[in-house]
Amino acid sequence: MICREPGVLPESEYFFFAPSDTFTDYYYYIINCGHFYCRQGYRIQRQGNHSPLMLYVTDGTFYLEYEGSCYTAAKNDIILIDGENPHVYYSGDSCEFIYMHYCGSNAVSVTRHLISQNKGPLFNLDNHRQIYDLANSLVTKLRFEQEVTDAELSSVIYSCLCQIQSFRHSVPGTGMESSPAVSDAIRFIRDNPCKNLTLRDISGHVNLSPYYFSHLFKAETGYSPIEYAALCKINLAKTMLKTTSQTIESISEYLGYSSSASFINAFSRREGISPLKFRNGLQEL
**Domains along the chain?**
13-168 (2.60.120.280), 180-279 (1.10.10.60)
Could you tell me the maximum CA-CA distance found in the chain, to the nearest angstrom? 58
pLDDT of the chain along its 285 residues, tens only?
556 689 999 999 999 999 999 889 889 999 999 999 999 999 999 998 899 999 999 999 999 999 999 999 999 999 999 999 999 999 999 999 999 999 998 899 999 989 988 889 999 887 888 899 999 999 999 988 898 999 999 999 999 998 888 665 444 333 445 688 998 898 889 888 889 999 999 999 999 999 999 999 988 888 899 998 998 888 888 878 877 788 999 999 999 999 999 999 999 998 888 999 888 875 443
Which helix H or strand E contains 34, and what residues bound it? strand 29-39
Rounded to an integer, what distance in angstroms lies between the CA atom of residue 98 and that of residue 73? 13
3-class SS string, 47-72: CCCCCCEEEEEEEEEEEEEECCEEEE
Rounded to an integer, what distance in angstroms lies between the CA atom of residue 104 and that of residue 27? 6
3-class SS string, 89-130: EEEEEEEEEEEEEEECCCHHHHHHHHHHHHCCCEECCCCHHH
